[in-house]
Structure 1
Amino acid sequence: MKFGKKGKLSLRYVRSFQILDRIGPVAYRVALPLALAGVHDVFHVSMLRKYIPDPTYIFDYDPLQLQKNLTYIEEPVQIVERKDQPLRNQTLPLVKLVWNNHAISEAPSELEEEMRIKYP
């Protein structure tokens, strides 16, 4: 995916991202923001630049509110899409929900009536 431009004018370097883990001897997994959700998060070392520390730079992230047993509560944030799934004799109303601490691309389809019961 070209970062917003095509051809020779495409960006070769976007900005600094946090390295999550080392996949192999020459591959790294990088934490990408939601705006770059369509980009694969594993990069070859030749595509990365060395980070020169800047004391004024702060990573922006929302910390999780963990409970004592190291779990967190997931709640639906919004309904992204509604659709009817036709079956042979009936149609099932489905909704696609965005959960807190998850990307929109990870939104699963669930039965609408079950969601109304669990989250009125």
Structure 2
Amino acid sequence: MDDLVYLKVSPMKGVMRFCMKGKHSPRYIVPYRIYKREGCVAYELELPQELAAVYLVFHLSMLKMCLGDPSLIVRTEDIGIMKNLSYEKILVQILNHQVCKLRTKEVVSVNVLWRNQFVKEATWEVKEDMKKRYPHLFEYGENAD
């Protein structure tokens, strides 16, 4: 078989995975290839070596069909996932900036593109925080703001 399916995961209560907690934590992980069908509602998957301790056959309710483009899937090795299942965000480019006017002050934000993300997934971050973490990006053009 050549079909890909996502595998459903159940987070442990109170444990954060991939820097998300609660309803925003991932429900399904990396798509895996179906090796063969076992009966009417069970499938055997081709799992990587790091999941060798996991039983290979899963009920249909634990799987979700992968309908997307497999070329857009980011491999866990490419992200550099650590043992606690978190990863370090690496800034690629600052796309834009904006000034948010509050009642008593103004907050300058920058639109940041992170590694392994698309432009539409860029996030708005406070400029002062980004200056502390990445001072080399703000050395030139300070008077332009």
Structure scoring higher RCO (CA < 8 A, sep ≥ 6) equals 2
Relative to the length of structure 2, the TM-score reads 0.41
- Counting helix residues as a fraction of each chain, which structure ranks higher? 2
User: With structure 1 as the length reference, what TM-score do the two structures score?
Assistant: 0.48
